[in-house]
Chains A and B, each alone.
Chain A
Amino acid sequence: MMDRSGNVVGVAAPLEWDDVDTDQIVPAEFLKVVEKKGMGRYLFYRRRYGQDGAERADFVLNQPAYRSAAILVAGANFGIGSSRENAVWALLDGGIRCVIATSFGDIFENNAARNALLCVRLDEPTVARLRSLARKGAAFYIDVPAQTVTAGSEVTAFQMDPHAKKRFLEGRDEVSTTLETCGPAISGYEARMPAWAHPSSVSPVE
């Protein structure tokens, strides 16, 4: 859960494999859903459920200790692959507020920042240690203003993109901000846009 100051407190679930692509987070067949809400039911669908639709006991988020996890401690290359923002929506709707990993897919990380899903990047030995603390059921507390992860008695500082931090703590309507602060710059470019950058106007072939 997230407390009022925007910090994340809760159970952390260890993910024991690297290269968690966004197809694993939300399979493509669920991309046809056109609402964000309820996307959590598709989170890690193929890992979470067997072919008969029953929960798989070997999947970490199905285990009693981790059902209410707010944090995932993954490994390398979390969120690689498809640009689907559904991956971020499903994590959030599934109760995950923060993912700790050694690296993230670029588009995933952008999408996460825009939806206040916290991505914490740490080096491999640290992430391995945090994973092992998560296995032992240590309580995790992520202080976003101070940029620290507290797991059990261990406190680790992390770097954070200043914009992602602001988005996480304040949340803002970026479109309005852009239009208010950069409207003239946008129109200015449009006035000097070279002729060749315009598509020549022709109707599509029917």
Chain B
Amino acid sequence: MGSSVLSKIWDAHAIGEDEDGRTLLYIDRHLTHEVTSPIAFEALREAGRKVRRPDLTFAVTDHNVPTHDRDLPVESGMSLRQMELLRQNARENGVMLFDYESQDQGIVHVIGTELGLTVPGITLACGDSHTSTHGVLGALAFGIGTSEGEHLFATQSLWIKRPREMRIKVNGRLHAGVYAKDVVLKIIRDMGTGGAIGHSVEFCGETVDSFSVEERFTLANMIVEGGARTAIMSPDEKVLNYVRGRRFAPKSSEWDAAAASWRELASDPGAGYDAERSFDVSRLEPQVSWGTNPAMTVGVTETVPSPADAKTERERVSIERAVGYMGLTPGMRVTDIPVEVVFIGSCTNARISDLVEAARFVRGRHVRQGVRALVVPGSQAVRAQAELMGLASVFRDAGFEWRNAGCSMCIAMNGDELKQGQRCASTSNRNFENRQGTGGRTHLVSPATAAAAAIEGRFVDVRELGRV
């Protein structure tokens, strides 16, 4: 029987076992940020320890940084304190920090791959659930808590129970105007928020093969909303081309040896999986979440569900509560839902290709009166590239706010937030109650659907706009 890509990386990094069936995995890369790290650094200090491998540890400020002009002062005292603590902790431990003013700053899962900190074959961990994103490059990546972060700082290793493996095959050619975001929303909608709990999800199939590396990031990033422990993919030539030449990736003299090792990583044909799912996306339409978790999603031509459709009492309660919180009427058409705010950003959908797709629906038009629309690039490098490509002016001319990089309105810690009752078309990954601001209402969509909603002031079927 062959091995999966996960098995190959797991076996190369397993350096110990305990009597409870857990494995000690060496972690080649630790990415850390200002929000989940302070207590881990503090515990390290209290124990008289330092970061064991500062050369494998990288820090960035992203979760609560303002996205306004970087020359303006940071207004929130608490944000300032966490940013300053990260500076101190990084300095004290000799850890490289991509700070607020750095041109390398951005959302940790965007800069990790962009800078070549993530390469195939490595293990990686970060105190953030969307760490699964890095699995696209054929790395084994885990989101961890703060106590695990402390353990990782001190030992460069983690005790982990081997996840079960689920293979998700995606086949079919997507209709123009339908994207990776729609695919992953549909998968979560079908599997439920707990469908992949305990599993590492390996994506494969012709649709995934045809996706660019950036489109794959969207899939791997968001499958954690289906409960996945992480995501992983066999690295192919697209991945090798993506990694090549990036700042921290192997240099030309080392490249051939690295690439040769990485070509061995792909899952073998006979590899076994604990669970298999397959999806045909050839007739998939753009998806729009209507409720308060990502599985509460329908197609753009469908209607908002009714509590009367529920199969169980708990489901009825859940639909009723969600519809109430979202201020929707059961049975109303998705295309009749008005939008007040549009947020294009987050580690799910704020890379350059996302901005290119969004811009198609914006070019030469203007944001609907009364709508606030903002683009928050995933990194300062994405921002700079978008400016060079003329995308920034497309958005600005259309009335979008063009911001600096950060997690921004995806987690609403930095002042970018919805007001009570405001309704937002968002390219982020979570539509939980109050996620984007107290009382805010989030609809998860692709960048194209979000951009079109900004222009129309309501959801529209982007397939009908003739712009792709």
Q: Which of A61-69, A146-154, A171-179 is the contact stretch?
A: A171-179
Q: Does B28 belong to the interface (CB within 8 Å)?
A: yes
Contacts A17-B314, A196-B257 given; 8 further ones with Cβ under 8 A?
A28-B413, A46-B433, A84-B36, A163-B161, A179-B154, A189-B15, A196-B254, A198-B55
Show 5 A/B contacts (Cβ-Cβ < 8 Å), sorted by A. Answer: A18-B314, A34-B38, A35-B39, A195-B257, A195-B258
Whether A32 contacts B36 in the complex (CB less than 8 A), given A83-B127, A182-B15, A196-B258, comes out as no
Q: Which of B156, B161, B318, B439 contacts A18 (CB 8 A)?
A: B318
Contact partners of B22 in chain A: CB under 8 A = 163
Q: Which of B117, B121, B435 is A199 in contact with, Cβ under 8 Å?
A: B117
Given A19-B293, A106-B197; A199-B157 close (CB under 8 Å):
no
* Chain B hits for A35, CB < 8 A: 39
Of the listed residues B15, B76, B85, B412, the one surrounded by the most CB atoms of chain A closer than 10 A to its CB is B15
**A contact residues around B318 at 8 Å (CB):** 17-19
Main DSSP-derived SS at the B contact region: loop
Report yes or no: B143 in contact with A175, Cβ–Cβ below 8 A: no
Residues of chain B within 8 A of A51, CB atoms compared: 420, 438-439
Determine whether the beta carbon of B249 is less than 8 Å from that of A110: no
Inter-subunit contact B193/A46 (CB<8 Å): no
- Which of B16, B47, B119 gathers most chain A CB within 10 Å? B16
- Roughly how many angstroms separate A162 CA and B92 CA in the complex, as a whole number? 37
Q: A197 touches which one: B38, B98, B119, B155 (CB < 8 A)? A: B119
Inter-subunit contact A85/B16 (CB<8 Å): no
Give B182-240 interface residues, CB cut-off 8 Å to A: 192-194, 197-198, 225, 227, 229
Please name all residues of chain B whose beta carbon is closer than 8 Å to the beta carbon of A54 when the two chains form the complex: none
Enumerate chain A residues within 8 angstroms of B79, measured Cβ to Cβ.
Answer: 32
Chain B residues near A34 (CB-CB < 8 A)? 38-39, 42, 81-82, 85
Bound Cα distance A105, B163 (Å): 13
Task: Say whether A200 contacts B145, CB under 8 Å.
Answer: no
- Determine the chain A residues whose CB is within 8 A of the CB of B229 once the complex forms: 106-107
Chain B residue contacts of A206, Cβ below 8 A: 102-103
Q: Which residues of B contact A76 (CB under 8 A)?
A: 194
CA–CA, A33 to B158, complex, Å?
26
Alpha-carbon distance A165/B129, docked complex (angstroms): 24
**Is B15 a contact of A83 with CB atoms below 8 Å?**
no
A3 within 8 A of B: no
Chain A residues bordering chain B, tally (CB within 8 A): 65
CB of B36 within 8 A of CB of A85, answer yes
Instruction: Report A-chain residues with C-beta under 8 Å of the C-beta of B225.
Output: 80-81
**Contact of A32 with B194 at beta-carbon distance under 8 Å, contacts A17-B314, A24-B432 already known:** no
A122 to B: closest C-beta gap in Å: 15
Provide the A37-55 mask, 1 if CB < 8 A to any CB of B, else 0.
0000000001000010000
Residues of B within 8 A of A186 (CB): 15, 24, 26, 155-157
Cα separation A160 to B433 with both chains bound (whole Å): 31
Which chain A positions have C-beta within 8 A of B11?
A: none
Minimum CB distance partner of A32 in chain B: B78
Q: Which of A32, A107, A198 contacts B144 (CB 8 A)?
A: A107
**Which residues of chain B from 83 to 115 have a CB within 8 Å of any chain A CB?**
85, 96-98, 102-104
| Complex partner residue of A19 from B15, B117, B193, CB under 8 angstroms | B193
How far apart are A163's CB and chain B's nearest CB, in angstroms? 4
Contact between B314 and A75, CB atoms less than 8 A apart: yes
**For residues 220 through 275 of chain B, which have their beta carbon under 8 Å from a beta carbon of chain A?**
225, 227, 229, 247-251, 254, 257-258, 261-262
- In order of increasing CB-CB distance, the 3 nearest A-B pairs are A196-B258, A163-B20, A32-B78
Which residues in window 1-39 of A have CB below 8 A to B? Answer: 16-19, 21, 23-24, 27-29, 31-36
Write out the residue numbers on chain A whose beta carbons fall within 8 Å of the beta carbon of B63: 31
- How many angstroms from the CA of A103 to the CA of B78 in the assembled complex? 34
CB distance from A38 to the nearest CB of B (A): 13
Q: Does B18 contact A (CB under 8 A)?
A: yes
Q: Is there contact, CB below 8 Å, between B82 and A85?
A: no
- Given contacts A46-B433, A175-B155, A204-B102, is CB(A29)–CB(B412) below 8 Å? yes
When C-beta atoms are compared, the residue in chain B nearest to A167 turns out to be B20
| Distance of A194 Cα from B65 Cα, bound (Å) | 36
Q: Is B445 engaged at the interface, CB distance under 8 Å to the other chain? A: no
Complex Cα gap A202–B104 (Å): 12
B98 CB to nearest chain A CB (Å): 6
Tell me which of B156, B251, B434 has the highest count of chain A C-beta atoms within 10 A of its own C-beta: B434
Per-residue contact bits, chain A 70-109, to B (CB 8 Å; 1 contact, 0 not): 0000011100111111001000000000000001111100
For B18, the chain A residues whose CB sits under 8 A away are 163
A181 within 8 A of partner (CB): yes
Nearest Cβ on chain A to B301's Cβ, whole angstroms: 26
Residue B73 interfacial (CB < 8 Å): no
Chain B residue numbers with a CB within 8 Å of A197 are 28, 119, 121-122
B41-65 vs A: 1/0 string, CB under 8 Å? 0100001010001011010000110
Whether a CB of chain A sits under 8 angstroms from the CB of B382 is no
- With both beta carbons as reference points, the residue of chain B lying nearest to A202 in the complex is identified as B247
**Which residues of chain B have C-beta atoms less than 8 A from A18's C-beta?**
314, 318
Q: Are B64 and A32 in contact (CB under 8 A)?
A: yes
Are the CB atoms of A205 and B103 closer together than 8 Å?
yes
B420's nearest neighbour on chain A, judged by CB, is A51
Query: Which A residues are in CB contact (< 8 Å) with B116?
Result: 199-200
Contact between chains at A185 and B257 (CB < 8 Å)? no
- A182–B24 CB distance below 8 A: yes
